[in-house]
Amino acid sequence: MNETPAPAWGCRTDDILVAHAVFRRLFSLLPPAVRATDAGDRKRARTLTARIDMAATGLQHHHRTEDATIWDTLEQRAPACGLHVHLMRAQHARISALLDSVDELAGWWRVDGDPVVRDRLVARLTEVDEALRLHLRDEESKILPVVQTVMSQLEWDEVGAKARSDVDPRYAFGMLGLMLHAADEGHRAEFEEHVPRIAMTLYRLFGHRQYDNVVADLDPAAGRAAAEPKGRLRAPVSRLRGRARPATP
């Protein structure tokens, strides 16, 4: 009788670092963008609350995928990692609670651009940014090295496939652009291999404009430019795109 060979343990986890870079970038840009919005600017508030929803929806989906596919496996195969898994779950719960508060405040702010609500929203977004940076640092230093030794490449690829599924179609091209720009040259081609060919074709044809809009909207100067005379032009997207991503603490 032929027996199914045991999976070969060991996998590369570089791809998740691309997602982490995207979320670091988004949540570092959101607080100053909201803070720079003029009191009563409802149009700008609606624009930014859509970007907040994109970032929060993506992060919640990312965390739910990890909750469903990684933690139980680590506890079973690497019991010594149990304390770190508990830390991951606790950090996810805290970030989820903060994002629920962000969602509530954003819903009120978009109604009339109230500066008091705006400032409370900035404070909560800053809390998310700080909690997320700590969480990602812990995950990358305490969890990923263990994953690399106790999960097979096939299992890890299934985690990635689940993370790429059920992406909110309203934000698909914006998130794809963020991922492509977060990946370095050595990993971009590999990343594109996991993206359906039709999606890459549509992104190159017109989907990249959604990414350009995301980058432009998250520039704090965009709010000021909207309030300036028509003759003043906003900084070109090509210049904004070249900004370096915040360094990992």
Q: How many angstroms separate the Cα of 85 from the Cα of each of 69, 161, 223?
A: 12, 22, 41
3-class DSSP assignment, residue 39:
coil
3-class DSSP assignment, residue 10:
strand
- What was the pLDDT predicted at 82? 96
Separation of alpha carbons 13 and 218, rounded Å: 29
| Burial class of residue 70 in the structure, from the number of CB atoms within 10 Å of its CB (0-12 exposed, 13-18 middle, 19+ buried) | buried
**Rg, Å, the chain Cα set:** 20
- What was the pLDDT predicted at 63? 98
Fold classification of 14-241 is Four Helix Bundle (Hemerythrin (Met), subunit A) (1.20.120)
pTM: 0.85
**Segment among 2-16, 35-49, 233-247 with least mean pLDDT:** 233-247
pLDDT at 237 over 60: no
- Percent of the chain predicted with pLDDT > 70: 86
- The 10s digit of each residue's pLDDT in 28-56 is 999 999 999 999 999 999 999 999 999 99
Average pLDDT of the residues in 160-183: 92
- The 10s digit of each residue's pLDDT in 191-231 is 888 888 999 999 999 999 999 999 999 999 876 655 554 44
Band (pLDDT 50/70/90 cuts) for residue 188 is confident
Measured CA angle at 102 (ends 96, 106), to 5 deg: 150
Band (pLDDT 50/70/90 cuts) for residue 1 is very low
Average pLDDT of the residues in 78-90: 97
Q: Which two tokens stand for residue 126?
A: 């800053």
Average pLDDT of the residues in 14-19: 93
Domain ranges of the chain: 14-241
- The 10s digit of each residue's pLDDT in 104-144 is 999 999 999 999 999 999 999 999 999 999 999 999 999 99
Average pLDDT of the residues in 183-191: 81
